[in-house]
Amino acid sequence: MSRVVVFDEFGGPEVMHVVEEPVAEPAAGEVRVRIEAFAVNPLDLMMRSGTSPVTVPLPHARLGVEGTGVVDALGPETTGLEIGDPVILTAIPDASARGSYAEYTTLPASRVIARPAGLGITEAAAVWVAYSTAYGALVEKAGMRPGDHVLITAASGGVGRAAMQIANQIGAVPIAVTRHTTKKAGLLAAGAAAVIATDDVDVVEAARHHTGGTGVDIVLDLVTGPGQQDLLKAARTGGTLVAAGFLDPRPTPSPESTSLTIVGYRSFEHTLDPVVVKRMAAFLYAGVRLGALRPAIDKVFALDDVVEAHRRLEEGLHAGKVVVKI
């Protein structure tokens, strides 16, 4: 049997509960993974609360879009993997049916990559969504280059911290944005070249100050909502804004006029493309090997405490990823 987190109605963290289900057999081209740990992501909270952009069928819906574990079984015609291989899950597009909040899950063999040898179980559980989102948005979408000044909102979160590390690895200049002055020292220690705390300074004035008056080359907007208007003003003429988040539930006004390139980004845009995933994995392996890429872990919970793990993320005071270890 497999212990699985499910929910039968939308609501707060308390709607989740752990049940036991038969362990599914992998179909042709699939693997079964014994999950060792998974991370909690904002999308999980949205699915659970009924605010997700994708339909979540009830009852008995599952959660979880990332995790790490060991290959437990191979389906017919599955090649390239062996039982016992440690892997990272790279995409679970049907998370409501086969999410990673479980002791076992099945998924296509093409949706896992080898776990980097330099990462422990907890770090490996927390690495993929953050790094693939930041890499896809900054490198694949915005074409970030050495020397680019990059403004990163929600910088204290997992994607924000990953974006700072990726920018540093490439030779760009990460400028972190946070709402709280108290987080400034931690973000500088995490790799930010400069920190803009919006409870103390104006983001537009500060961004221009840190770029000699020209404005930043790239904005990574992980919040969206009405605040995006100021971010547009913080960028230089001809710059790029990538809207890759949804932390602010309020509508994002359309810009009246702008000289920027504005693009939207969702991680499945690239994590379902095996060619891009290969590039992402190569960059991740190199960064881990060099010590340049390392996910920040906020707190680790047990499976029976998954409700508290969701509450921790909803508090908004986490510094890094919230992980559940099985």
Give per-residue pLDDT as tens, 135-192: 999 999 999 999 999 999 999 888 999 999 999 999 999 999 998 899 999 999 999 9
Spatial separation of the C-alpha atoms in residues 248 and 144, rounded to whole Å: 25
Give one DSSP letter per residue of 58-69, joined into a string: SSSEE--S-EEE
Q: Is 90 exceeded by the pLDDT of residue 19? A: yes
Q: How many other C-beta atoms can be found within 10 angstroms of the C-beta atom of residue 236? A: 18
* Structure confidence at residue 300 as a pLDDT band (50, 70, 90): very high
Domains of the chain: 2-119+295-325 (3.90.180.10), 130-268 (3.40.50.720)
Strand bridging mode 16-21 / 86-89 = unpaired
- List pLDDT tens digits, range 118-136: 999 999 999 999 999 999 9
- Residue 10 CA to residue 151 CA, distance in Å, equals 35
pLDDT at 255 over 80: no
